[in-house]
Amino acid sequence: MKIGIIGAGNIGATLAHKLSVQGHEVKLANSRGPETIGELARRVGALAVERKEAVRDVDIIILSTPFDKHAQLAEILRDVPESVVVIDTSNYYPFRDGDIEEIHEGKPESVYASEIVKRPLVKAWNAVLAETLQEKGLAAGSPSRIAIPVAGDSPVAKSVALELVSQTGFDAVDAGTLSESWRQQPGTPAYCTELKTGELEAALKAADKTRAPLNRDALIREFMSAGEQLTHDAIVKRNRAVTA
């Protein structure tokens, strides 16, 4: 399939590499221009392009930018055909993205993002740490395979995302509609806890909508104060402990 990825950070670049290896034709873009990611794109098997080019003549678009960039993406996505699946990997963090009243009052961040970009979105790869995505993918059927939640309203679009998640090395769990995607947001038991399929399904059911933002903010304060002393395994362990 033809895939355009906007965002060349750790998640976007890793997805470009993994999906290119699977035989997909991948275009990769960032906000600073293709000349700034030419070597990266070559290394991961993608073509570096402008953002507007990344969304032309593709079957799938993956948005892997900070949450507060959705308003910029609305114009880029304006003329994209309705048949193109748009997948969002972002997460809302108030300290970085600002205090958004609608989300503060309970609107799921993915529903808000979908309204901003004026496109139906599928939420995937948001609940996985960059190192997990890079290093811990396994072949289908592996007993230790980690699961990743996928939420969206269109059964067709969601089925595409579920298949792509599997191709990147993880079991894909249908987490329901976009309005239910709060169950995989930061601060929930499903978020960056490296669970297997049955465990993830239980974690999604156990999510507490009121408690999640409190967990999110407490964890980010703890992680930021720890600085370079914080290891990947420690992050996963604390996420599990605080959100359980």
Q: Any idea where the domains of the chain sit in the sequence?
A: 66-243
> Look-up: residue for tokens 């969601």?
158
What is the pLDDT at residue 70?
96
Region 51-79 average pLDDT: 96
Residue 5 to residue 26: CA distance in whole angstroms: 7
**What's the whole-number mean pLDDT along residues 88-93?**
98
Q: Which whole number is the average pLDDT over 126-136? A: 98
* Per-residue pLDDT, 238: 97
The per-residue pLDDT for 174 is 98
Q: What's the whole-number average pLDDT of the chain?
A: 97
pLDDT in tens, 189-207: 999 999 999 999 999 999 9
Q: What is the pLDDT of residue 239?
A: 98
Is the pLDDT confidence value at 228 over 80? no
Question: pTM for the complete prediction?
Answer: 0.96
What share of the chain has pLDDT > 70, as a percent? Answer: 100
Q: How confident is the model at residue 52 (pLDDT cuts 50, 70, 90)?
A: very high
> Which residues are within 8 A (CB) of 244 and not within 5 positions of it... i.e. 6 or more apart?
189
DSSP-derived secondary structure for 10-57: HHHHHHHHHHHHTT-EEEEE-SS-GGGSHHHHHHHT-EE--HHHHTSS
pLDDT-derived band of residue 226, with 50, 70 and 90 as boundaries? confident
CATH no. of 66-243: 3.40.50.720
